[in-house]
Structure 1
Amino acid sequence: MYHILVAEDEPWIRSSVVEMVSRIGVESFTVSEATNGEEAWALIQELWPTVLITDIMMPKMDGLSLIQKIHDHGIPMNFIIISGYDNFQYAQKAIRYGVTEYLLKPVDIEQLKEALRRAEEGIGSLKDISQYMSRFQQLVNAFGEVSPQTAGRKMADLIDSVLKLKMINPAARLNLLRIFDWKLNGMIKELSLEQPVPSIPAEAEDPVIVRYFNQLTDILILHLSKQSMTNTNHIIKKVCDYLHSHYRKDLSLTEMAQLANMSISYFSSWFKRCTGRTLVQYIQEIRIEKAKQLLLETQLKNYEIAERVGFATQPYFIRVFKNSVGVSPNAFRKRMGQ
């Protein structure tokens, strides 16, 4: 199982691509979506996807700049670029970052299937690295909810296991530690905390490296534990009230982060800590509940309900509904006696 991130600013194109990806191999991978390059960059630091499917022309940050940033930070990932005919030559510039998959709009499902197949073949050791990045993120997500002792022990175990990795070369192992270091220091900077921990020596021995990461963990745990004791109820209530009132819109992570007066990356992790769901999952739950009401109280067609509750396409609505409820909208209506 690996993760795919779809970055596309046009709602109907994004929904169509997500729907096609899900139809191609829902058992092989999970899918998330971003409405622009800036959101995609924030989600990459939370989800660590193995494959990025990105439009080349997007607001905030274009697809090429996004890929360059991923490349510069050494984040292991495979790329599939979606491009309009007019900017296809521009998209080909991404070859310097190892991009080999290009799809012209409108995206054809068979071409996408073949591109994903080739991307999966090229994943190789990325699957092993991705497991460690997911394990790291799960630990980070639990900061503020577990004791410093528990977090420190788990971080020490994780770093020790990375240091002992045999299935990847030393350079890849070092790069994995650098990504962890970059993520934790980014969180410290995001929280405007002073970092009393000196930079890790280039040739540090394993125990020094483990101790260094434990010090970073202690700093973050202490702050997030204090933060959890402060009253953030009014902020999360403000955000959730807005979502319940505007669920029909193409709500973005960027918009909601601005509402909460937070950065995109911090809001994403903060919202999940508060609700237990990602922003997309939370919005979809609202939309599905509204759809269930309409199925029971009206005779509207599926495409009409999809439009009324905020889904860009009917197939996407049906897939999300079935995944959430366990049956299709039509079967739900029949089962409930409509």
Structure 2
Amino acid sequence: MYHILVAEDEPWIRSSVVEMVNRIGEETFTVSQATNGEEAWALIQESWPTVLITDIMMPMMDGLSLIQKIHEYGIPMAFIIISGYDNFQYAQKAIRYGVTEYLLKPVDLDQLREALRRSEQSIGSLKEISQYMSRFQQLVNSLGEITPQTAGRKMSDLIHSVLRLKHLNPAARLNLLRIFEWKLTGLVKELSPGQALPSIPADAEDTAIIRHFDQLAMLLIMHSAEQNKADTHLMTKRVCDYIQTHYKKDISLTEMAQYANMSISYFSSWFKRCTGRTLVQYIQEVRIEKAKQLLLETQLKNYEIAEQVGFATQPYFIRVFKNTVGVSPNSFRKRMGP
């Protein structure tokens, strides 16, 4: 199962691309979406996608700057650029970062299918690396729910398995350790900006590397526990109430992070920890509940309901509704209506 991130600031284009990706690989791909480069960067640190589909011209951070940042941090990923004709030449600069797929807007379904097929073929060893990153993220997400002893054991097991790549794939080993360290230190700094962090020499022995990551995990658990003691219920309620009121809008991660006075990256992980859902999942659930009401209480057509509850396109609304409820909007109306 591959995870694909779509970064595009135009709502209807973003929804259209997400819908096409879902149609192409319903059983093969999972998809998340971002409205700008900063959001995409935050989500990359949460979902570790295998493929990034990105526009070039976006607010806050453009697509090429995003790809450059991913490249600098050594995060393994395949890239597909979608571009308007006027800046298609600009996209060629991305070739230095290994970008080989460029699609012109409006995006054609068959061309996107072929680009994804070629990207899948080029992924190769990224598959194994992505699995390690997913294991790491699952562990980080569970740190507030498991005992420190369990967390330490799981972290040791994970780092042990990465260290075993030393002879099979030295570059992947180094890259994974670097990414894990960067992620953990970033989370600790978010929670406690003044915290002194342990460092480890590049030539450290395996036992010292394992001990280093155990220390980082314990620091994160300690500061997370302190944060959880604070009353976050009020802020969670405020954020959820805002979504309940403004669900018709194209609510972005950036907007909600600003509303909660948090960084984009921290808000993304905080919201999921508090609600058990990503921001997009929560917004979609609210919209689907509103859509169910309209289906039962009005005679509005699907495209009208999709527009009223905030979905950019009717096909995307129908797909999300069916995935959430289990039946299509029309079937739901027939079954549940008078």
**TM-score calculated relative to the size of structure 1:** 0.98
Alpha-carbon contact 1:6-1:14 (below 8 Å) kept = yes
Give the letter aligned to residue 255 of structure 1. E
Deviation at 1:2, TM superposition (A): 1.2
Alpha-carbon contact 2:85-2:105 (below 8 Å) kept = yes
Deviation at 1:334, TM superposition (A): 0.8
Match of residue 80 from structure 1: 80
Alpha-carbon contact 2:129-2:176 (below 8 Å) kept = yes
Residue correspondence of structure 1 range 96-245 to structure 2 within 5 A: 96-165=96-165, 168-245=168-245
Give the letter aligned to residue 318 of structure 1. I
Does residue 51 of the first structure (1) align with residue 51 of the second (2)? yes
Query: Cα distance 1:86–1:172, how it changes in 2: closer, same or farther (>3 A)?
Result: same
Deviation at 1:291, TM superposition (A): 0.3
Looking at structure 1, the residues matched to 58 and 157 of structure 2 have their Cα atoms a distance apart, in angstroms, of 40
Match of residue 265 from structure 1: 265
SS at match of 1:4: strand
Query: Cα distance 1:24–1:167, how it changes in 2: closer, same or farther (>3 A)?
Result: farther
Give the letter aligned to residue 236 of structure 1. T
Looking at structure 2, the residues matched to 121 and 298 of structure 1 have their Cα atoms a distance apart, in angstroms, of 48
Query: Cα distance 1:77–1:167, how it changes in 2: closer, same or farther (>3 A)?
Result: farther
Query: Cα distance 1:268–1:167, how it changes in 2: closer, same or farther (>3 A)?
Result: farther
What is the percent sequence identity of the aligned residues? 80
Give the letter aligned to residue 178 of structure 2. R
Match of residue 330 from structure 1: 330
Alpha-carbon contact 1:129-1:176 (below 8 Å) kept = yes
Alpha-carbon contact 2:56-2:62 (below 8 Å) kept = yes
Deviation string 1:274-331 (CA, Å, 9 cap, x unpaired) is 0000000000000000000000000000000000000000000000000000110001
Looking at structure 2, the residues matched to 155 and 336 of structure 1 have their Cα atoms a distance apart, in angstroms, of 48
Deviation at 1:255, TM superposition (A): 0.4
Looking at structure 1, the residues matched to 52 and 23 of structure 2 have their Cα atoms a distance apart, in angstroms, of 17
SS at match of 1:122: helix
Match of residue 290 from structure 1: 290
Q: What RMSD, in angstroms, separates the aligned Cα atoms of the two structures?
A: 1.1
Give the letter aligned to residue 29 of structure 2. F
Looking at structure 1, the residues matched to 194 and 246 of structure 2 have their Cα atoms a distance apart, in angstroms, of 38
Alpha-carbon contact 2:82-2:103 (below 8 Å) kept = yes
Looking at structure 2, the residues matched to 260 and 92 of structure 1 have their Cα atoms a distance apart, in angstroms, of 38
Give the letter aligned to residue 223 of structure 2. H
Deviation at 1:154, TM superposition (A): 0.7
Match of residue 9 from structure 2: 9
Give the letter aligned to residue 269 of structure 1. S
Give the letter aligned to residue 129 of structure 1. I
Looking at structure 1, the residues matched to 168 and 301 of structure 2 have their Cα atoms a distance apart, in angstroms, of 53
Looking at structure 2, the residues matched to 258 and 192 of structure 1 have their Cα atoms a distance apart, in angstroms, of 19
Does residue 248 of the first structure (1) align with residue 248 of the second (2)? yes
SS at match of 1:6: strand
Give the letter aligned to residue 215 of structure 2. Q
SS at match of 1:164: helix
Looking at structure 2, the residues matched to 254 and 33 of structure 1 have their Cα atoms a distance apart, in angstroms, of 12
Runs of 4+ in 1 over 4 A off after TM superposition: none
Looking at structure 1, the residues matched to 246 and 197 of structure 2 have their Cα atoms a distance apart, in angstroms, of 44
SS at match of 1:12: helix
SS at match of 1:31: strand
Give the letter aligned to residue 14 of structure 1. R
Deviation at 1:197, TM superposition (A): 4.0
Alpha-carbon contact 1:159-1:210 (below 8 Å) kept = yes
Alpha-carbon contact 1:197-1:212 (below 8 Å) kept = no
Deviation at 1:167, TM superposition (A): 8.6
Looking at structure 2, the residues matched to 170 and 262 of structure 1 have their Cα atoms a distance apart, in angstroms, of 37
Give the letter aligned to residue 160 of structure 1. H
Looking at structure 2, the residues matched to 259 and 155 of structure 1 have their Cα atoms a distance apart, in angstroms, of 34
Alpha-carbon contact 1:148-1:222 (below 8 Å) kept = no
When structure 1 is superposed on structure 2, of 117-126 and 191-200 the one drifting more is: 191-200
